[in-house]
């Protein structure tokens, strides 16, 4: 059996199991990454490829990581309120785009056999909760520890620099933590909740 067909069979087996666990999701993301590589589609599906790589590394400072950190850093210069950071960071991290790209790859490669699952929002919410928890404490970093400087903002009364972000969880919610040498020196933390979970009941 050729590698592509075996990979597609493995992806289908993930949906056939009808069970979401970190083990199953890990297996699935490894196979999706392999499929992107075989089909030379990593540049077409940049968000999906980024999350596959993030999932498989203890930290990441290449690919989209520096772009994401710089875009998040730019939010601070806009002097937004914390609620606006939630929206801005959610857009930058492109969680919804991740699902859109995943669905497109799945439809193109295995068709409509699992359409009910692909279009089931509750399936993706559970998938993302498990997936994002696995990303916690796996920071996205700027290359070579370069930093982006910022001025004082509403919630923080001192200037600071940003060298990365990481995910963390608290009371069944996912947060983005801003990584800063000044925060570390002052033993402070700056957390921003993921908007995708903010209004869940």
CB 131 within 8 A of CB 48: no
Residue 75 pLDDT class (50, 70, 90 cuts): confident
> Is the Cα torsion angle 76, 80, 82, 86 positive or negative in sign?
negative
Q: Which helix (H) or strand (E) holds 181?
A: helix 181-186
pLDDT at 155 (0 to 100)? 61
pLDDT tens figures, 30-68: 999 999 999 999 999 999 999 999 998 888 887 888 888
Rounded CA-CA distance 118/112 in Å is 9
pLDDT at 120 (0 to 100)? 92
pLDDT at 198 (0 to 100)? 44
- Determine the average pLDDT of the residues in 122-134: 91
Alpha helices in 39-175 (DSSP H): 46-56, 65-77, 82-93, 95-110, 115-118, 121-135
Question: 């875009």: which residue's tokens?
Answer: 71
Residue 166 pLDDT class (50, 70, 90 cuts): very high
- The pTM of the full predicted model, rounded to 2 decimals, is 0.85
Name which of 115-124, 136-145, 176-185 the model is least confident about. Answer: 136-145
Orientation angle between helical segments 95-110 and 22-38, nearest 10 degrees: 70
Closest of 91, 57, 50, 63 to residue 176, by C-alpha = 91
Rounded CA-CA distance 3/9 in Å is 10
> Is the Cα torsion angle 98, 62, 147, 175 positive or negative in sign?
positive
Assigned token pair, 92: 């930058």
CB 109 within 8 A of CB 11: yes
Strand partners, 150: 160
- 3-state DSSP call for residue 179? strand
Rounded CA-CA distance 86/47 in Å is 19
Question: 């540049």: which residue's tokens?
Answer: 43
Query: pLDDT at residue 196 above 80?
Result: no
């Amino acid at each position: 059996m050729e590698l592509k067909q075996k990979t597609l069979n493995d992806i289908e087996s993930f949906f056939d199991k009808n069970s979401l666990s970190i083990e199953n999701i890990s297996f699935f993301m490894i196979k999706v990454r392999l499929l992107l590589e075989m089909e030379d589609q990593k540049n077409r599906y940049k968000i999906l490829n980024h999350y596959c790589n993030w999932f498989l590394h203890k930290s990441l400072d290449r690919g989209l990581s520096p772009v994401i950190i710089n875009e998040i850093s730019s939010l601070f210069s806009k002097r937004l309120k914390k609620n606006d950071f939630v929206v801005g960071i959610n857009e930058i991290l492109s969680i919804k785009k991740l699902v859109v790209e995943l669905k497109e790859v799945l439809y193109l490669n295995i068709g409509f056999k699992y359409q009910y699952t692909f279009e089931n929002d509750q399936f993706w919410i559970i998938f993302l909760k498990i997936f994002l928890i696995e990303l916690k404490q796996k920071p996205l970093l700027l290359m070579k520890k370069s930093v982006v400087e910022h001025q004082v903002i509403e919630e923080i009364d001192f200037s600071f620099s940003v060298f990365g972000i990481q995910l963390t969880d608290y009371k069944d919610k996912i947060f983005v933590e801003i990584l800063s040498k000044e925060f570390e020196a002052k033993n402070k933390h700056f957390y921003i909740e993921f908007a995708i979970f903010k209004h869940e009941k």
